Amino acid sequence: MSHINESEAEAAVKLSNLDLNLLVSLDVLLEERSVTRAAARLGLSQPALSGALARLRRHFDDPLLVRSGNTSELSPLAQALRLRTAHALKEVERVFASEAVFDPATSTRSFTLHASDYAMAVLGPRVAQVLADRAPGVMLRFENHPNTVTDSPTDWLRGMDGMIVPRGYVFDLPSSDLFTDEWVCVVDQGNDAVGAALTMTDVAELPWVLTHHGPTRFLSAVRQLEQLGIEPRVQAVVESFLALPFYIVGTRRLGLIQRHLADILAARHRLRVLACPWDVVPVVQALWWHPLQTREPGHAWLRSVLTETSRHLDRRT
């Protein structure tokens, strides 16, 4: 026990010698890679920020920013610190934003959720309206989740309030089902290669545009199709569900998308929505968060809002 106390005391001494403002400076310096631009962004003088950079260099015993011609590059350590620094800042903000009692009507808290553009499109507007009505000072930031978010979700969730990811990609973390959706196919309204209903022959022979398609990233419906022995003839891959119509309209391509979003996009583009001719497993969208957030009052309120606004989307009800 004494060894643990000594370690904790040593860590406390090290932390007491640090200035949290250096974390802010480090984050902006690593993003801007320029003392001049970082100083302007922070509203500081260049000498002041140069002094902060000197302190950071002494602390890490590393140059962090390395001159390369007329620009600066990140050192290997700085590259590793960039993501950690951003997460650490968000965690610090969350710590000091915590409240014993959360009053949405008066709170000025900011929440951050990672989600696909699909979830943002079908769920985000209703959530934003509820916040505008009940919590006018609260801001909800939706950010696109990176491709690696499901590789180490616990680490990612330390720096945010949650992520909206389908079941089957994240495990062993607190979660709550939001809504269930179904996969459908979309084609151009003038695609005369497709009749009143899509057939397995169409699926096998016509070209496809797919989203998030690769060796380690795939749509569950595409994986099911491959298990049936049909390899889609992929002509294009896009990293956005909302961009899909632009690759389909005016072509013979097929697209795969969630029903809720398909209904929205079909009303705005020349798209026809068709049932998949194979038995497709529904997709369950869930909210995931770090265990430390479970009992936090503000986070509990946010979860209740997301659950409430998801009810109109849930095809099980």
Name the CATH topology of 98-180+284-313. Answer: D-Maltodextrin-Binding Protein; domain 2 (3.40.190)
Given a cut of 70, whether residue 10 has pLDDT beyond it is no
pLDDT band at residue 89 under the 50/70/90 scheme: confident
Please check whether residue 296 is in contact with residue 161, taking contact to mean a CB–CB distance below 8 angstroms: no
- pLDDT at residue 216, as a whole number: 47
Highest mean pLDDT among 68-82, 93-107, 240-254: 240-254
Distance CA 104, CA 131 (A): 8
Name the CATH topology of 2-86. Answer: Arc Repressor Mutant, subunit A (1.10.10)
Please enumerate in sequence order all residues whose Cβ is within 8 A of that of 177, keeping only pairs 6 or more positions apart, or say none.
167, 284, 285, 286
Quick: pLDDT tens for 268-281: 999 999 999 999 99
Residue with tokens 């100083």: 39
- pLDDT at residue 4, as a whole number: 47
Give phi and psi for 266, each to the nearest 5. Answer: -65, -30
Please enumerate in sequence order all residues whose Cβ is within 8 A of that of 274, keeping only pairs 6 or more positions apart, or say none.
184, 185, 186, 187, 194, 197, 198
- pLDDT at residue 317, as a whole number: 38
User: Was domain 183-281 assigned CATH 3.30.70.260?
Assistant: no
- pLDDT at residue 148, as a whole number: 66
State mean pLDDT over 97-119.
87
Mean pLDDT rounded to a whole number for the chain: 86
Locate 264 and state its tokens: 């929205």
Distance CA 232, CA 67 (A): 47
Quick check: do 98-180+284-313 and 183-281 share a fold?
yes
pLDDT band at residue 9 under the 50/70/90 scheme: very low
Residue with tokens 């899909």: 244
Q: Identify the weakest region by mean pLDDT among 109-123, 151-165, 215-229, 236-250.
A: 215-229
- Positive or negative: CA dihedral 218, 224, 230, 232: negative
- pLDDT at residue 170, as a whole number: 87
- pLDDT at residue 2, as a whole number: 43
Distance CA 271, CA 311 (A): 26
- pLDDT at residue 159, as a whole number: 78
State mean pLDDT over 264-292.
94
Quick: pLDDT tens for 181-218: 999 999 999 999 999 999 999 999 999 999 877 654 56
Given a cut of 80, whether residue 267 has pLDDT beyond it is yes
Question: Domain ranges in the chain?
Answer: 2-86, 98-180+284-313, 183-281
- pLDDT at residue 1, as a whole number: 43
Distance CA 185, CA 208 (A): 10
State mean pLDDT over 99-123.
90
| CA atoms within 13 Å, Cβ hemisphere of 167 | 13
Whether this prediction's pTM lies above 0.75 is answered by no
- pLDDT at residue 12, as a whole number: 42
